[in-house]
A and B are shown apart, each in its own frame.
Chain A
Amino acid sequence: DVVMTQTPPSLSVAIGQSVSISCKSSQSLVYSDGKTYLHWLLQSPGQSPKLLIYQVSNLGSGVPDRFSGTGSQKDFTLKISRVEAEDLGVYYCVQATHFPYTFGAGTKLELK
């Protein structure tokens, strides 16, 4: 199985600060169709996960452009510019290139 390594496990931030979360995979996530199926999810406290970014860098529906995703092959980053209170929760990366699909362990974003 593809191992997804997310760092850091937790982040303590002030409102308005910018942060980055790293996600590294044990194999390239480029599929045979040339696309990279690496997505980012946010699970707010007490809520279901929500899709933030799909295929590395595409914003999900209704997701503010403070969120951005970059990366390629095995190395990916989620950046949040100007953190707001509603951004708090656990962020997960997930790869949907190789079966079985696998998730990172999550990064918990908390208020400083």
Chain B
Amino acid sequence: EVQLVESGGGLVQPGASLKLSCVASGFTFSDYWMSWVRQTPGKTMEWIGDIKYDGSYTNYAPSLKNRFTISRDNAKSTLYLQMSNVRSEDTATYYCTRVMGAWGQGASVTVSS
């Protein structure tokens, strides 16, 4: 069974950094592109970016490219999202996905002082 389990969410102050992780199981992680998607409290879905199966290439939403970094460790079957200089509008549930075909349970991030 394909499983994606995010962690690392929580309450963070504006301007701080936060790193989310997503541990994958039930499939060969290194064979797949992986993505991060977030959902705002108002339920709007926003694609953050994705990373090639070998980690050699990434794509980002232009509005987030300067603050968010996606990486992966195939030896650990883990996907990462490094968020820097977070803002209140980054408050959302963050999902890792296997090219939209499988989704984690989400990690909630709240940016507030």
Contacts and interface: CB of A to CB of B under 8 A. Distances in A.
Contact of A48 (B43, B59, B95): B95
A91 to B, nearest CB: 11
Contact of B45 (A51, A61, A94): A94
Interface residues of A, number: 20
B100 A51 contact: yes
Interface residues of B, number: 20
Given A49-B95, A99-B59, A106 B100 contact: no
A51 B102 contact: yes
Interface string A11-40: 000000000000000000000000000010
Nearest to A105: B44
Given A90-B43, A96-B100, A100-B47, A48 B61 contact: no
B17 to A, nearest CB: 22
Q: List the 10 shortest-distance A-B pairs measured between CB atoms, nearest first.
A: A103-B45, A101-B47, A100-B61, A48-B103, A51-B101, A49-B103, A100-B47, A39-B100, A99-B59, A48-B105
Interface of B: 35, 43-47, 49, 59-62, 95, 99-106
